[in-house]
C-alpha cells in the first residue's frame, strides 16, 4: 500500500497552471450548486480529500500520515475541551490544552536545531493548522465557540484552499460563513472577485515573482558571495530582490487561496493589503501577512497586556506595551525557526514597534506643529519600506550563507 502511494504523482498546491485547470474543473459542480442556492458538502469533502491526498502522496507520503495523526490529535483536544468548558473553566486545564495543541509544532521547530534533521511529525502546513486549532481552544475558553462537532472542526482544519500556507482563518468566522449559503447575487460577486484575485495571483507569483526569485536573485547572490565586504551593491541587490520576491510569491499564493475559497462560497480573509504603502512599522504589520500578525496580536499581545494589567506587573503603561511588543515579535521570530536570523528578525521588529510608539508619543507632545502632507507621508513610506527590506535580508538567511563562505 505504502509503495503504491509513494509511486503516485504529487501535486503541490498552486504549483503549476495544470493544477488550476484540474482544480477549477473539479469544483465547478460546487459553483453550480451555490449558484442555485445549494452547498454540496459531501462533494466538497470528496474533492478536498482527493486534492489533499495528491498533495501528500508520492515522496510526501510520510507527511500525509503525520497530517492524519495530527488532525486526530487536535480534534480530540478540541472536543475534550469543548465538553469540559460547558461546566468548568479552570485556568490550568485551559493552559494545558493550549500547550498540548502547540506541542507538535514546538517539536517540529526544535528538532532540526536539536538533532540536525527534520522531525517525522512535520508536514507542509503544520504551523497554520496549529494556529487554527489553538485559536479554537482559546475562543472556546472565551465562550465564543459554542456550536462545534468533530466533523465541523475537521472540515475547518482541512479546508483545502488554505491548508498549506493560510490565510489563517478562525473557527467562529469560518463556521458562520460556511453555514450561510450566499445569495445568487452575492455568490456571483464572490466569483467575480475570485477571478480577479486569481489572475492577479498569476501575475504576482508566476511572472513578477518568477523574475525576482529565479532570474535576478541568484545573480545578485553569486556576485555578493564574490565580494570581499558584506556591504556592497550586490548585497543591496540581494536585499531588494529577495524582499520583493518574498512579497510577490507569498501574496500570489495567498491570492490563489482566497480566490478558490470564493469559488467554493467561503470568504477567506485577505492576507496582504498593499504593505509597502505603510507609513510606519505598526501599519506594516496591519497590512503584511495579516492573518498571522492579527493572530499574534489577539492571542499573544492582547492577552499578555490583559494579564499583566490584571496582575499589576508594570506600573507604567508604556513599559507594559513595550514588553508586550518584544514578547510578541520575538515569539514570532522563534515561530519561523530556531535560527539566529529568524530570531534576530523578530527582535528587530519588536524594537521597531517600541520605537514607533515612542516616536508617536514624542511627536504628539513636543512636535505638535510637525507638518503632515504628501511629502512627509512619502518620507515615512520610504523609511518604512527600506527598513523592512533590510530586515528581510536578515530573514532570508543569506547573511548566514555569506558569513560561512568567508
Catalogue the active-site residues: 336
Distance CA 241, CA 233 (A): 12
Closest CA to 30 of 14, 47, 13: 47
In sequence order, the 6+-apart residues with CB closer than 8 A to the CB of 6 are 57, 58, 59, 61
CB-based contact 171:133 (threshold 8 Å): no
Distance CA 59, CA 12 (A): 11
Please identify which residue in the block is written with the cell numbers 449558484.
35
Distance CA 104, CA 133 (A): 12
Distance CA 75, CA 129 (A): 11
Q: Rounded to the nearest 5 degrees, what angle is found at the Cα of 60, between the Cα atoms of 342 and 333?
A: 10
Please identify which residue in the block is written with the cell numbers 540536525.
116
Let me know if 99 is exposed, middle or buried by CB neighbors in 10 A (0-12, 13-18, 19+): exposed
Amino acid at each position: 500500500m505504502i509503495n503504491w502511494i509513494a509511486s503516485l504523482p504529487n501535486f503541490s498546491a498552486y504549483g503549476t497552471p495544470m493544477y488550476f485547470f484540474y482544480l477549477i474543473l473539479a469544483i465547478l459542480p460546487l459553483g453550480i450548486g451555490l449558484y442555485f442556492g445549494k452547498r454540496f458538502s459531501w462533494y466538497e469533502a470528496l474533492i478536498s480529500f482527493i486534492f489533499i491526498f495528491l498533495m501528500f502522496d508520492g515522496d510526501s507520503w510520510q507527511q500525509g500520515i503525520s497530517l492524519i495523526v495530527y488532525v486526530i490529535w487536535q480534534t480530540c483536544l478540541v472536543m475534550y475541551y469543548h465538553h469540559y468548558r460547558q461546566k468548568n473553566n479552570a485556568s490550568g486545564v485551559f493552559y494545558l490544552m493550549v500547550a498540548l495543541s502547540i506541542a507538535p509544532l514546538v517539536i517540529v521547530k526544535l528538532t532540526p536545531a536539536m538533532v540536525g534533521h527534520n522531525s517525522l511529525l512535520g508536514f507542509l502546513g503544520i504551523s497554520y493548522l496549529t494556529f487554527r486549532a489553538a485559536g479554537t481552544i482559546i475562543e472556546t475558553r472565551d465562550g465564543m465557540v459554542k456550536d462545534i462537532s468533530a466533523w465541523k472542526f475537521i472540515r475547518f482544519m482541512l479546508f483545502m484552499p488554505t491548508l498549506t500556507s493560510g490565510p489563517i482563518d478562525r473557527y467562529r468566522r469560518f463556521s458562520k460563513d460556511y453555514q450561510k449559503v450566499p445569495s445568487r447575487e452575492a455568490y456571483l460577486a464572490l466569483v467575480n472577485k475570485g477571478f480577479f484575485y486569481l489572475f492577479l495571483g498569476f501575475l504576482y507569483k508566476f511572472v513578477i515573482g518568477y523574475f525576482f526569485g529565479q532570474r535576478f536573485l541568484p545573480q545578485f547572490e553569486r556576485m555578493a558571495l564574490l565580494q570581499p565586504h558584506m556591504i556592497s551593491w550586490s548585497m543591496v541587490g540581494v536585499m531588494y530582490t529577495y524582499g520583493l520576491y518574498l512579497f510577490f510569491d507569498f501574496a500570489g499564493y495567498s491570492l490563489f487561496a482566497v480566490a478558490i475559497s470564493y469559488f467554493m462560497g467561503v470568504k477567506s480573509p485577505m492576507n496582504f493589503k498593499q504593505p509597502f504603502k505603510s507609513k510606519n512599522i505598526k501599519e506594516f504589520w496591519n497590512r503584511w501577512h495579516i492573518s498571522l500578525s492579527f493572530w499574534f496580536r489577539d492571542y499573544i499581545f492582547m492577552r499578555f497586556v490583559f494579564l499583566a494589567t490584571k496582575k499589576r506587573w508594570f506600573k507604567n503603561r508604556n513599559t507594559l506595551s513595550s514588553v508586550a511588543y518584544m514578547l510578541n515579535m520575538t515569539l514570532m521570530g522563534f515561530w519561523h525557526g530556531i535560527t539566529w536570523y529568524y530570531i534576530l528578525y523578530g527582535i528587530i521588529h519588536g524594537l521597531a514597534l517600541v520605537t514607533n510608539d515612542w516616536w508617536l508619543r514624542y511627536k504628539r507632545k513636543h512636535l505638535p506643529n510637525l507638518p503632515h502632507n504628501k511629502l512627509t507621508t512619502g518620507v515615512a513610506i520610504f523609511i518604512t519600506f527600506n527598513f523592512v527590506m533590510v530586515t528581510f535580508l536578515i530573514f532570508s538567511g543569506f547573511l548566514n550563507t555569506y558569513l560561512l563562505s568567508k
